Amino acid sequence: MKIYYLSNSQIPSRTANSIHVIKICQAFAKNGNEVTLYAQKDISMTYDEIFRYYGVENSFNIIGFKRTFLKGFVGALIYTYDIVKELKTRPLPDIFYGRYPYSLAGVAHLGIPLIYEVHTPPNGSLKRKVEKWLCRRRNFLRLVVISESLRQEYIRIFPWLPSEKIRTVHDGADMPMKRDKSHFYKGFMGHEENFQVGYVGHLYQGRGIEIICLLAHRLPQMDFHVVGGMDEDIARWQQTGTVPNLYFHGFVRPSDIPCYFDKFDVLLAPYQKKVMSVGGKKDNAPWMSPLKLFEYMASGKAIVCSDLPVLREILTHSEDALLIPPEDIEAWVRALRILQKDSELREMLAISAKEKFLARHTWEKRAGEVL
């Protein structure tokens, strides 16, 4: 099957959006499809460099467009026009797939089946109107949502859309690639004899960095590692005070993250009741399906995660993770102390999470489900 993935992602970038798009395109290709990704590309990098940056195979095509800095409807219109213009130079696909409704709307008249994926409800009247128009097209195949809570929200806002056209498919991850990691560990921050606690991800509001700082204060016999985050966010948290057992590793290329997982005994996902997106404009907590969580499950390490309804769609307390009330610092402290002392519990949680991941949440399984 020939799939054109229409995206407005900037590649490469540090956003989860770009990682998601690249990974699902690789998964479509691994499942035997011919895939072309349309995206905004950094002109200073070659395509081979982009594939290495994300740690994916050079298994699909990328059509890169110069990044547009115009926001709103004008920017969307220009970018969509560029995509439609380019499409006139090549054969049509079997499916148009995408998370960018404006580009899908721009090709809807061609009659090719459309699959639209969403990670949040529409955040404005224009986007809602475009989505509504898109979902009413005769060639609209299905709406893919990343959580059951988001599916219920779309049933509410578009009650006329047949429920069988809305499919819940959680996000995914890859199994870590085997590679020589010894050079990563030279000068690794921390103390080898300590219990190692890791967090991987951004430091946006609601991701739980404040919980991690409190835990580091309360548990000085453990080392806490924060991998990722924008430079300005890291600087702000470092200025709040020195915690000798809290280490900020900064941004790490997606392809290198598994090297850090290997050094940790436990992985934290301390999401709060409000989890803001890039720019702090949207609360994603009710709908999210974090990429990080599936990467954690694939890593073979025990997970301590916030007990939020949307995350219970993925994890089960005491079966494949410890689920803790988001803001209850005492409960987080107790959970880490229990896992520090009980290596058998750590191993049981890690094995169960990995088995669930392999059964349900690899990118290839996800790619099969959305099609």
pLDDT tens for 134-173 read 999 999 999 999 999 999 999 999 999 999 999 999 999 9
SS (H, E, C) 161-172: CCHHHEEECCCC
User: Mean of the pLDDT values across residues 111-122?
Assistant: 96
Residue ranges and CATH numbers for the domains of the chain are 2-168 (3.40.50.2000), 182-360 (3.40.50.2000)
pLDDT score of 269: 98
- Report pLDDT digits (tens) over 320-371: 999 999 999 999 999 999 999 999 999 999 999 999 999 999 999 999 999 9
pLDDT score of 265: 97
249 pLDDT more than 70: yes
Question: Whole-model pTM?
Answer: 0.93
Question: Within 10 Å of residue 91's Cβ, how many Cβ atoms?
Answer: 6
> Of how many residues is the chain composed?
371
pLDDT score of 220: 95
Containing 300, the helix (H) or strand (E) segment is: none
First to last CA, the chain: 10
Question: Within 10 Å of residue 81's Cβ, how many Cβ atoms?
Answer: 12
- Report pLDDT digits (tens) over 63-113: 999 877 667 778 888 899 999 999 999 999 999 999 999 999 999 999 999
pLDDT score of 75: 83
pLDDT score of 311: 97
DSSP state, 99?
A: S
